[in-house]
Every structure is written in structure tokens, then in C-alpha cells.
Structure 1
Amino acid sequence: MSTPQIFNFEKNEVRTFLVNDEPYFVGKDVASVLGYSNTPKAIRDHVDEEDKTQNESFTVNGTALMLINESGLYSLILKSKLPNARKFKRWVTSEVLPTIRKTGSYTNVPQSFAQALRLAADLEEKNQLLEQQIAEYEPKISYLDMILSSTDTVATSQIAADYGMSAIALNKLLNELGVQHKVSGQWILYRKHMNQGYTKSHTSEIPKADGGVKVVMNTKWTQKGRVFIYNLLTAEGYYPQMDLLD
């Protein structure tokens, strides 16, 4: 049985293994840190088959561990609703991966100068590939960072612009997904989404030509609501434009 390299994130153990010289993480450890209550379901729902492996070489008490690679790790981070997810991401990319690269990649000691040169070239190639993978995921994480670092409420039109669509199109989509419906000309959350802290409403007065005023109710999304929309739309295949940038 292979021996794991163990890291600790805020007193939570995260076990890692090298599989064909590539870092893999124990899926249960990662999912637990990210707040998933049902860790097997989280891995099953959010991690692609090619990003996970399970075999008898990696077992605990006779049970084979489900391991996930870096791509699978980032998938769980992106789907996590915990604000701490971005802190965990930074910890992985700044501490865990560099340590694995330094300690795990030198398991085979070169026996000649030619082998040493080949090993150095391989390590450089792997490091460049890892940096590229991290860079590709960074925009997605940065979008969540932007949301979670703000306390302002935002209009539907602002959120819609993040996805390259109009407010009308986003409102219609949220209606189709069972989030809201129209009542007396205003979009209202369905009961199951009320009292979740997703929106805030306030009234404003608009002067009328006859000297009177028209009272209008305005509803805006909180940052919690914005994260809710993000998780909902990404599950349906809709992504913010900044996540699609190269």
C-alpha cells in the first residue's frame, strides 16, 4: 500500500498520493474541507470520471480510497458554497502543490548525468503544465472572489451582463429554472427561495405629470443571491464571460 503525504488545512487532514508522478488527493478529505455533507455524492456529481481513480494500491482498513486529480479538486472548489473555498484554493496552489513538486518528483534518483538532465527537463515541463492548469482555473475562482469580497446589492441587469445576456433573458431563464415568477409586473421568488437572503427590496417614488407620485418596488440581489445564481447557472451549463477567457 502506498503511503500518503499528509497536509493540514485549518486542522483538517488532507491526504495526497502520487499516481504516475502526478498529485492526487483523497476525495473525501477535500469534499469535507469544502463543506459537502455527502462527500461521495459531491465527488460523483461534480468530478468527471477521468479526474478520479480508485484501486487497491491506495486503501485504508481494506477499503480503496477515491482519489481525485487537480482538475477534480478544482471542480469541487468551484461548486463549493463556502466562502472559505477560495482560501483553500490558495493554500493548495501556494503550499501543497509546490511541496509535492519538490518532494514527490525526486523519488527516482538519476544514475547518470544524462538521466539528471532528462529529469530536470521533465520537471520543468511538469511545472509549466501545472502552472498553466492553475492559470486556466484562476479566472473562475476570481469571479467568486469578486462576488464574495463585496457586500453591495446588484441589479439583475448587472448579473445578466456577467453572462453576456440581457436582464429580460436572465429573468426568463430564472423563471424557467423555478427560481422566480411574475406577480403584478414584478419578479418574485418562489416560496422555497424566500427568506434565504438572496434578495433585498426597497420602494422608490417617481414623480408623475399630474403632480402625484408613483411608488415602485425595486428588488436587487445580494451577494449570497449572486452566488446562488452562479451555482445554479453553472450546473445548467451557463458560465460568466470572465470564466470563458483564455
Structure 2
Amino acid sequence: MAIALALIFSGHAANSETQECGNGAFTIETPSQSLGTQLCGDLLDARDLLLSCGLEQTRPISIKVVGEISHPIGKCLSYFECGFDVISITAPEKFGDILSPYDPYALLPPEVLLESLVTHELAHALVTQSADARDIDIVDQEYIAAALELENMEATWREVLIGAAPVSLPPKPDLIDIMIYGLAPRKFATNAWQHFRLTENGCSLIARIVEGRFSFAR
């Protein structure tokens, strides 16, 4: 979720264990080995996609599975702490406790949603690492994370999400706004992915954002 928010983390899983993934690229703190194995596969698959779009991992990243992530405006499912290279993800069995039944995310099986969250937060992490000292505006961060989250999703499930949060074509640059993200994050994601898929945009636009040559910020 949005990396600019100051979060308070609580409810870390008891009896968690630490696993290494990707020859030390990732450290995963999780309550079960099977979940750690799933997360490792999701991380490596997502990293391959992000690398193909020019986003490189330059530092190790820690992933923590927690019972709850909370902040002043409510609970969220996942979060990247940019100052510490740490991604926190809510335990999949808690997804149903947090999601509204009206949230399009609620239509996804837990394993599909977990992979989606991993891709989203890893995109935040690698944008931050690839940009080095450059400050990437939050709306640009969310555009990249949302677009690549949907790009990495199996087409069938992507169609489910877009069908539940439709935005008419052609994609609308004016809707790539942090206020829209706050009010309707799934519609923001639909529009971001549709915009990303335009021939003139794609990975070349992401490169321009990371290099500081373009921003959606107003």
C-alpha cells in the first residue's frame, strides 16, 4: 500500500521462522515453511517481471508475514517500509477479516491475492532502489505498483478485478491522481494498467518516472 503512510505494526505471527530466498536476495519471516516457499516463488516471479521493466534489486529485502497492519486511516493488507527495505504482508488467513465483501480483492482466492500483494510491494521496493537518491512521488509509485501488479496477474483473474472495478476506455491520465487512489484504489489500478498497456507507455514510461524525467504529480 502507499509507502508514505506511517504505520504501526501489530500481531506478528507467533513461532515464526526465517527462510532465505534467491541466494540471499530475500529473507522471509513466516509462521510456516509452506507459506515461505510460496512467497519465495512469488517474489522471484515478480522480480523477473520487474527486471524486464528496468527495475533492479540492489539491496536485500526482508518480508514479514504479520497478523495485522494498521494505520490512522484503517487497516491494509501489505506495506513497504522504504527506510528499512522491509515488506510486511498480512497472513492470508486474515484476508477475509480485513476485506470488505464489496472490495474487488475479495473475489480473488487467497493465493492469487497474496501473489498480487507481493508484486505490488516489490514494485514499490524496486522503484525505490532503482531511483537511488531520487524521490519518486507517491502517485508515481502507486501508478507503477498498480500497473505491474495487474500485468503480473493471470489474465483470468485480472479480468475479474477489472470487471469488478471497471474504467471505460481509453485510459484517462487525469484519473492518475493520488486522490483517486485514496478514494477508489481498484479503479485507479484498472486505469493505471490500461494506461500502461498503451504502446507509447509501458516500461519506457516507467523508466522515465524512475529517472526523474516524468511525473503524474500535479
TM-score by length of 2: 0.27
- Higher strand fraction: Structure 1 or Structure 2? 1
* Larger Rg over CA atoms: 1
